[in-house]
Amino acid sequence: MNSKIMKLAIIILLIQSFLFISCAKKKDYSDIENLLTQWAYAIKNLNYNEYCRLEAYPKDIHTFNAMYQQYYISNIKIVEVDKKLHNGTDNDGKPYEFKNVRFIASLYNRQTNREEQIINGDIKLIRYISGSQKDKGWLLSNRTFIYQE
């Protein structure tokens, strides 16, 4: 009877350790994915106010409309996020921390609502350390889209 209990205990410990190891390797980017999804949704709907809420340095409304009048992105999947936070300052000297995010997404034609291609993207997420924007959390900053031919 004791050997059965010992075997069962060993099996349970092995299963728990396997689950712990397999779960520990998965990265949880849900907060970043949520932010990028909100941003993409604001662009898709040409919702300038929502776009401004998510951007550290939003473009003016005319530039926003010109940038996104023909296309929008969707189906964002994060590829990589910097493991380490970096420090920087904005043009006004306000300190922030940042991390770079690499992702892939689908590019849709606004007129046809059809996927045109898959794009690679880089976005710098910044979070102010002090000041009036400190409570806003992560904001989107520099972004680059790389279009596939």
Specify the CATH number for the domain of residue 65. 3.10.450.50
pTM: 0.75
pLDDT in tens, 21-39: 545 445 666 788 899 999 9
Mean pLDDT of 11-17: 63
Is 3 a domain residue? no
Cβ–Cβ < 8 Å for 56, 140: yes
- Count of domains for the chain: 1
Q: Identify the domain containing residue 88 by its residue range.
A: 28-147
The pLDDT of residue 24: 45
Question: What CA dihedral angle connects 129, 63, 78 and 118, to 10 degrees?
Answer: -170
Is 23 a domain residue? no
Is 1 a domain residue? no
The region of weakest confidence among 20-29, 57-66, 90-99 is: 20-29
Query: Rounded distance, CA 32 to CA 39, Å?
Result: 11
Is 49 a domain residue? yes
User: Does residue 98 carry a pLDDT above 70?
Assistant: yes
Is 4 a domain residue? no
The pLDDT of residue 22: 47
Buried b / exposed e along 132-147 (16+ C-beta atoms within 10 A): ebeeeebbbbeeeeee
Is 105 a domain residue? yes
